Each structure stands twice: as structure tokens, then as C-alpha cells.
Amino acid sequence: MACTLAVPGRGVTLDVLGQRARPLTLASERSLPVLAALVPLVPDGGLPRGSSVEVSGPGATSLALALATGATAAGSWTVVVGAPDLGLVAAAEGGLPLARVVMVAPPPPERWGTVVAALVESVEVVLVRPAGRVRATEARRLAALLRGRGGVLVRLPGPGSWPEPSDIVLRTTAPDWRGAVPPTQADGAGRLRARRLVVTATGRRRAARPRRVELWLPGPDGLPALVHQPAPARVDEPGAIEAVVAEAG
Amino acid sequence: MATGESWAERTLVARVADWPVLAAGHDSDEPVLMVHANRVTAVSAAARASGAAVGLRRREAQRRCPDAVLVASDPARDARVFEPLAAALDSVTPRINLSRPGQVAFATLGPSRYHGGDAALGERVVEVLAAALPRPAVVWVGVADGAFTAALASRPSRPEHPLAGPTGAVRVVAVGEAAAFLAPWPVSAAAAHLATPAGEEVADVLARLGLRTLGALADLAPGDVLGRFGPDGALLHRLARGLDPRPLSARRPAPELAVEVELDPPVERVDALAFRAVALADDLHSRLARDGLACLRLGIEVETEHGEQRRRSWRHEGGLSAAGVAERARWQLDGWLNGPAVDRPTAGVTRLRLDPEEVTAARGRQLGFWGGETRIDEGAARALARVAALLGTDAVTVPELGGGRGPADRVRTVPAAAADITSDRVLHPPGAAGPWPGRLPPPSPALVFADPAPVQLADGDGRPVVVDGRGHITAPPARLGHHLVVGWAGPWPADERWWDPDRARRRARVQVVLADGTAHLLALEQGTWYLEATYD
């Protein structure tokens, strides 16, 4: 085989050989699956492997959990570093399989980089909330590891800060909870049922095109849903939402 | 002696009372609570006297003992401060085993003859340890057949120790009396000695079957216990009868399995050494696993550039995992390199050696024949083991859904090392599903605070909002601190554990939506509202 290809430049020959031997990469190998409701927020319908995602705004924690749900349901592992207050019951209600979720206590600052790097190397979804400023060298090392290993790093909102913005930036605005009653009503005969949110996505490279989506997070059945879809029937249960909407209007 | 069945090595166990408190630099008569992850891990004698106990939540322990000093628990510090004491005991016998910081065990056969009997040896040990203690504390010593009986004999209990003195107490259980001494102790004590999840599970089953004491367990026929409860039950049964948990035939030294690494240039920093130890521990563990062995006693040895040699043995009755080996190596290295200046090696470490001194047949996890574990799972498990070695095994946890009403009660986390994370885990322990009146309906809050902050909740006229004993709210809430409340729901009263006066809590919860669109869960307890969770 080497003989038939042994034409002028040896480097060129090897390139040709490389092209022939290169396996096809499937879309699923370049991105991690996300829930259907979040597809409009991410490029090419999935979380690009090797990218970092930042969530902020009211409802950011729910959004981060929802982002991890698609990949974890498909068999990936999710590790949460430094966020012991994450509501795991809420995560389970949103469909996140807790059997593949691991919580890591906040590491001391001098070990933070080592711990997150060790996890990014072998775990596909890592949710982090740094307690302080992340050093530029640490951030560069993590970015390189992410690209090499194909995981996704989700930055939770918190006291820490990062030296540079992430590849995908998701911001939530205009949260609107349904199901509670106004303070003018003396009996609290309701309960929080669903929340409407506006999520805007910006970013770099493949995620550069800005996107804007209105979401139910959580929806009336606990799962995230797109707002333009007709809301499921359960919303109309015991006089909840219509009453609020009418009074608010 | 070689009959195996009736032989348990005569052992001395010495224990310093409330060692973690001492190691943290506090006296036992100060009220001190050692906490980890919001749970109390150790208390001083003074704090215990006012009702604090190991295992309580921090807030509850603080309520019982309000003037207590809070100290973060740190096993590495416990081990480091203990190293000079272990070194002092080298003058009594060279064969010391550390089972955990604050507790040592050694075989008394030779030393006892030299010092003139078990009691005299025990008093000598009390004397040596008392002289080496960083601050005054009580040293408890037990001598008995087998490490388990000796460990129980070293516990303070009634009847009072026959040889109690101001600095310590020695209790000697005569040869052949072990089974009689053990009979009244609960089965859970034996499970705690083994320190394996399987052992605790069997002890739990035995207790529910009505076999609560070691005496009751010892009365069963060995064959029946093995047949019904498997090897873990048989281990407990052997302990209950005062026998060595593993017959002699199951223990053997394995010199050819030792692993070591030459360090060039010499290493002086603990973290750098600990990092090498993690790799070494992995190597050791895979060698042992290849031969189907688990390590019961581990020797850790270093040699410095100046030719100094240090060696110390650690033992664990349940068999050490790779993370366990790495953790003990880290503790020990920390003890040597950061200990008092007189004991510290004078040069960098050039050789690190891990030596499995005693091994037994491993009954650990086997990989599923049909490939239940995927490559990704294995990689994730390895990364988590590495993180656990860096941060301590308690730092890596997996969630388990439990019963309860509040958002914080409904999920608990267990150390990943204690759960088999690579197989399909059962996330709901029995009883978790069952009816919980007062439980909040979904959706649940996405942020649940471990330490809820007190907040002011007022009605439209600025008066505090209160929920009465019948679950009626005085007025709808209108303000949370400075924030305007635009929506609310509730209250959900919960009368928790009313049957247990120590743990009973009465609470009422409300949901509030603020003007900025955020929603929170508030809990009223004893007249104060707490921000328990946020629907983020």
C-alpha cells in the first residue's frame, strides 16, 4: 500500500492516507444532547463538546440543571463542584437522573484547579461554582482540557469570577411565576406551579448568532417546555393561572 | 495457639478521649463542637455534658450548647498531631498499628512479659501517652483477646474501670473471658469495628430480627450464620465470640507485593509526596486486585536523603480501598513532615514504600461479566477516586432520595466511596416514598440553603406575620425585608417527629414571589422566619 502511494512529497502522501483512514464524525460525537425545549438555544441542536457555558440571571440554577439533564439522561455523568446547596429534588423533578450525579464539596482555593481539571478529563458534564477569582492559567488549562476531552463545563452563578467569557452565555430575564395569589387575597390557596422565562443566548464561534427563547422552566408538569407550544391541560387546574393572569391584567 | 478457631492475638488498644478536640488545640473542659458538612463529628467532654452529641446537625448542637466553639474537622490534622504520640510508644513496642488518629493497637505478647503483665503494661502505656500529650486528657487502655474486644474494653462504661486514675484507666479482660465480656454489647459495635457498609447492613438486619447483643448472636451455630448471612455475617459472628475475625489461614504477609518509588530529586513537600502516594496506592491496589486480595494492614515507609527511615502501620478490618490507602499515606506523610521539629526528618524524602503487611481474600466488587460498566463509567469512577484522594472521601458524595417534608430533608448525600456508583443504584431507601403530610407539592426549589438565614416577613401594615398553632396565618405577607411581595401561597404546617422530644420541630412554610419575579420558600420556626430555599 505504501508503494502505490509513494509519489513525490512524502508528507502529501501521508495526508492522503490520513484522509482515507479518518473515520466520519457523527453530529452526536461533536455535541451532547439537550432537552427538546433547549434545542433552539444551542448551535446545531446540541451542546458543542469542548465548550464552556455560562448561566446567569433569575432561574439560572434551574437552567443549568436542565442543560445537564439531556446529556445525563443519555448516559453521561454530571459532577457538581462547589454547589452543595443545589436542589437535587428539583433536579430530579426536571428529569435529571440522580443515579449519575455526583456532588463534590467546595475544594480549597489552591486545589480548585487540580480538582476541576481531574473531573473535566473524564466526566462529560461538570457544573462548577468557584468561590473566588479563577486564575487565567487555570482557565486556559481547563479550556485546553475541555477541547481535548470533549466535555462541557457549566459555570454556575456565584461569588467567583472568570478571566474570560465562556463560549456560550445564557442569560435569563423576566421571570414570571404562576400559581401564587396576590397579597390582597387573605388565604394563600394556591401554590407555585410554573414559571415563564426569557432566555437569551450569545457566544463565540459556532454559538455566535444571538438567540432568544421563551421557556416554561419548570413547566406545569415539572419539565422545561417552549412557551409557543400550547401549554398542557394541567395548567388549568383549580383556578390557578387564569385567575392570576386575569388579576394581573 | 495454632488451633485457629480459638485463637485471637492478645492485643492492647489505647485511645485518647476526644482526640479530634485535642488535636484542634482545645481542652476537653472547653465546650467544643467539631463539624464537617454541617454535622457534628466530635464533641468535647464539656459539650457532651450539655447535651451535644456526634451526628447532630450543627444548628441543633449549637442550640443545646450555645457557648460552644465551632471547629472544622480535619482528619489530616488529627493524624499529624498524633504522630509524636505514636513515636513515643515506640519505646514500649515497635509493633504499633494505627487504626485511626487517636487510637493505637499492638500485640502484647512480648511487651507484656517485659513489663510484668497486662495491667503493668497498660499503666506504662498510659504513662508514656500522658507524657507525650499536647494538653492534659484521659487515656483509655483496654487489653483483651483480639483487637475488637480490646477496643471495646478501652471504652469508658459501667462498671467503672478497676484501675482508673487521674490521667487514664486500664481495663484488662482476662484470657478466655472475651466472649463473656462482649455479650452485653450491641451488634452494631462489631459492625463499627469492621467499618464496611456490608457489615453495617447485616448488623441492621440482625437487630431487626431481635438479635441485638453480641451474646445473642454468639449463641447461634456458626454454620447457620454463614449460610443465612454470608461471609459478612460470619465475620460479625466470629467477632461476637471473641475470636479473630479472620482465621489465621486467611491472613498472610505478602512481601513481594510491596510497591515503592525512588524520588530524585528528593521531595520535601507533603502535597507533592501525597500525589506520588496516590499513584503508588493505585498501583498497589491493582496488584492486590489481580491476585484477588485486599489489604488489612498497610505499612508506610519513607527514607530520607540523610538515610533516616520512618515506618508506621495502619490497619482497617474491612480492607483498604485504593482511596483508603492513599488517604492514610497522606495523613502519615503529613504527620512526619509537618510534625514537631524534633521528630521531623532532616532532609527530603528519597524513597516512599507502601507495604501490605497483612492481606486477606478480597470479596470486593467484580466487574459485570456482560459489561455492566462502560469505559466512561470507569473513567468517571477513577476521576472521582482521585478527587476523593485529594479532598478526602467525605468530599465526594452521591445523592439519595429520602423521606421528609422540607426540601433539605428529602435528599441526602452519602460518600461516593460508600455507594457502588458504577452499578444501578437504588435511590430510594425503604420508607422514603410514604405519605408525608405537610410536604410541599412540586416544583421544588433549585437552591436549598444548608444554613437558612433569618428574615423579616411583614403584612401590609408592617406587623410581623405569624402562623398560629392551628395553621392559620395572621395576615397575608406583603413585605420580605425591603422587598415587596407580589404573590404568596401557603401556609404548609409541618409537625415533625413530635414523638421524639429531642428532634421534634414544628414549622410552617410559605412560598412568596417578590416584585423582581424571584420566588422563595420561607419557614417559620419558633417565631422566626428563615429563608429556606429559593426557586432559582
Query: Shortest CA distance to B216 belongs to which of B243, B186, B173?
Result: B186
User: How far apart are the CA of B188 and the nearest CA of chain A, in angstroms?
Assistant: 28
User: B381 φ, ψ to 5°?
Assistant: -65, -40
Query: Shortest CA distance to A35 belongs to which of A223, A233, A201?
Result: A223
> Would you state the cell numbers that stand for residue B397, as one nine-digit string?
458524595
pLDDT in tens, A68-88: 999 888 888 899 999 988 988
Helix (H) or strand (E) holding B162: none
With beta carbons less than 8 A apart as the criterion, state whether B393 and B334 touch. Answer: no
Is the per-residue pLDDT at B273 higher than 90?
no
pLDDT at A54: 93
Whether a cis peptide bond, with omega within 30° of 0, leads into B265 is yes
pLDDT at B7: 62
- Pick from A85, A90, A182: which is nearest to B444 by CB? A90
Rounded to whole angstroms, the Cα distance separating A241 from B386 reads 49
- Residue holding cell 460552644? B68
- Domains of chain A, start order: 27-248 (3.40.50.300)
Q: Is A108 helix (H, G, I), strand (E, B) or coil?
A: coil
Evaluate whether ipTM surpasses 0.90. no
- Residues of A in Cβ contact (< 8 Å) with B394: 105
Is the per-residue pLDDT at B369 higher than 60?
no
With beta carbons less than 8 A apart as the criterion, state whether A223 and A217 touch. Answer: no
Q: How confident is the model at residue B513 (pLDDT cuts 50, 70, 90)?
A: very high
Mean pLDDT over B136-141 rounds to: 86
- A88/B397 touch (CB, cutoff 8 Å), yes or no: no
Mean pLDDT over B400-428 rounds to: 63
Please tell me the least confidently modeled range out of A122-126, B7-11, B525-529. Answer: B7-11
pLDDT in tens, B417-471: 655 555 455 455 444 455 566 677 888 889 988 888 999 988 888 888 888 877 7
**Residues for chain B: how many in total?**
536
- Pick from A85, A93, A180: which is nearest to B443 by CB? A93
Amino acid at A151: G
Mean pLDDT over B473-500 rounds to: 82
Strands of the sheet with B528-534, listed across from one edge: B447-455, B528-534, B519-525, B505-514, B483-496, B479-480, B457-458
The separation between CA A98 and the C-alpha centre of its own chain, rounded to angstroms, equals: 16
Query: B513 touching A, CB under 8 A?
Result: yes
- A89/B444 touch (CB, cutoff 8 Å), yes or no: yes
Please tell me the least confidently modeled range out of A139-148, B250-259, B482-491. Answer: B250-259
Is the per-residue pLDDT at A6 higher than 50?
no
- A105/B37 touch (CB, cutoff 8 Å), yes or no: yes
Mean pLDDT over A153-168 rounds to: 90
pLDDT in tens, A201-226: 998 877 788 889 999 988 888 888 88
Q: How confident is the model at residue B222 (pLDDT cuts 50, 70, 90)?
A: confident
pLDDT at B244: 76
> Burial level of B14, CB count in 10 A (0-12/13-18/19+)?
buried
- Residues of B in Cβ contact (< 8 Å) with A67: none
Whether a cis peptide bond, with omega within 30° of 0, leads into B491 is yes
> Would you state the cell numbers that stand for residue B1, as one nine-digit string?
495457639
Alpha-carbon distance values, B182 to B17, B100, B315 (Å): 21, 22, 22
Please tell me the least confidently modeled range out of A50-59, B197-206, B357-366. Answer: B357-366
Rounded to whole angstroms, the Cα distance separating A125 from B35 reads 30
Alpha-carbon distance values, B234 to B26, B94, B202, B213 (Å): 41, 32, 10, 15
Is the per-residue pLDDT at A31 higher than 50?
yes
- A183/B425 touch (CB, cutoff 8 Å), yes or no: no
- B535/A177 touch (CB, cutoff 8 Å), yes or no: yes
Q: How confident is the model at residue A129 (pLDDT cuts 50, 70, 90)?
A: very high
> For testing the chain B interface, which of A67, A77, A78, A89 should be mutated: the one with the most B CBs within 10 Å?
A89
Rounded to whole angstroms, the Cα distance separating A102 from B388 reads 12
User: B128 φ, ψ to 5°?
Assistant: -65, -45
Alpha helix (H) residue ranges in B255-355:
270-290, 322-337
- Pick from A89, A107, A186: which is nearest to B407 by CB? A89
Rounded to whole angstroms, the Cα distance separating B119 from A15 reads 81
- Residues of B in Cβ contact (< 8 Å) with A153: none
- Residue holding cell 464552556? A52
Percent of chain B clearing pLDDT 70 (strictly above):
83
Rounded to whole angstroms, the Cα distance separating A66 from B288 reads 42
Q: Which residue of B has its CA nearest to A240?
A: B489
Rounded to whole angstroms, the Cα distance separating B172 from B150 reads 8
Helix (H) or strand (E) holding B310: strand B309-320
Query: Shortest CA distance to B526 belongs to which of B69, B50, B70, B63?
Result: B63
pLDDT in tens, B35-88: 887 888 888 888 888 888 888 888 888 888 888 888 888 888 888 888 888 888
Q: How confident is the model at residue B365 (pLDDT cuts 50, 70, 90)?
A: very low
With beta carbons less than 8 A apart as the criterion, state whether B471 and B491 touch. Answer: yes
- Pick from B379, B391, B460: which is nearest to A183 by CB? B460
- B517/A101 touch (CB, cutoff 8 Å), yes or no: no
Tell me the pairing of strands B396-401 and B411-415.
antiparallel
Total Cβ atoms within 10 A of residue B3: 7
Query: B516 touching A, CB under 8 A?
Result: yes
- Residues of A in Cβ contact (< 8 Å) with B441: 191
- B443/A60 touch (CB, cutoff 8 Å), yes or no: no
pLDDT in tens, B101-112: 888 888 888 888
- A85/B449 touch (CB, cutoff 8 Å), yes or no: yes
Query: Shortest CA distance to B96 belongs to which of B344, B335, B378, B306?
Result: B335
- A103/B399 touch (CB, cutoff 8 Å), yes or no: yes
Is the per-residue pLDDT at A8 higher than 80?
no
- B446/A61 touch (CB, cutoff 8 Å), yes or no: yes
pLDDT at B328: 82
Query: B491 touching A, CB under 8 A?
Result: yes
Amino acid at B4: G
pLDDT at A68: 93
pLDDT at B526: 83
Q: How confident is the model at residue A125 (pLDDT cuts 50, 70, 90)?
A: very high
Mean pLDDT over B19-38 rounds to: 86
Contacts of B515 (CB under 8 A, 6+ apart): B483, B484, B485, B486
- B376/A118 touch (CB, cutoff 8 Å), yes or no: no
Amino acid at B21: V
Amino acid at A34: V
- B390/A114 touch (CB, cutoff 8 Å), yes or no: yes
Q: What is the per-residue DSSP string for B428-461? A: S-TTSSS--TTPPPSSPPSEEEEEEEEE-EE-TT
pLDDT in tens, A168-181: 999 999 888 988 88
**pTM to 2 decimals?**
0.53
Mean pLDDT (chain B) is 80
Q: Which residue of A has its CA nearest to B396?
A: A104
Q: How confident is the model at residue A22 (pLDDT cuts 50, 70, 90)?
A: low
Direct distance between the N- and C-terminal alpha carbons of chain B, in angstroms, rounded to an integer: 67
- B487/A92 touch (CB, cutoff 8 Å), yes or no: no
Query: B411 touching A, CB under 8 A?
Result: yes
- Domains of chain B, start order: 183-250 (1.10.150), 255-361 (3.30.1490.100), 447-534 (no CATH)
Contacts of A133 (CB under 8 A, 6+ apart): A160, A161, A163
Query: B477 touching A, CB under 8 A?
Result: yes
Q: Is A196 helix (H, G, I), strand (E, B) or coil?
A: strand
Query: Shortest CA distance to B282 belongs to which of B383, B421, B420?
Result: B383
- Residues of A in Cβ contact (< 8 Å) with B447: 61, 85-87
pLDDT at A189: 78
With beta carbons less than 8 A apart as the criterion, state whether B524 and B508 touch. Answer: yes
- Residues of A in Cβ contact (< 8 Å) with B377: 77
pLDDT at B504: 64
- A191/B440 touch (CB, cutoff 8 Å), yes or no: yes
Is the per-residue pLDDT at B377 higher than 50?
yes
Is the per-residue pLDDT at B213 higher than 60?
yes
- Residue holding cell 487555570? A138
Is the per-residue pLDDT at A239 higher than 80?
no
Q: Is the dihedral of CA B62, B68, B69, B72 positive or negative?
A: negative
- Pick from A98, A176, A218: which is nearest to B443 by CB? A218
**Residues for chain A: how many in total?**
249
Rounded to whole angstroms, the Cα distance separating B36 from B93 reads 35
Is the per-residue pLDDT at B351 higher than 80?
yes
- B411/A65 touch (CB, cutoff 8 Å), yes or no: no
Is the per-residue pLDDT at B191 higher than 90?
no
| Beta bridge pairs of residue B480 | B457, B483
- Residue holding cell 488489612? B296
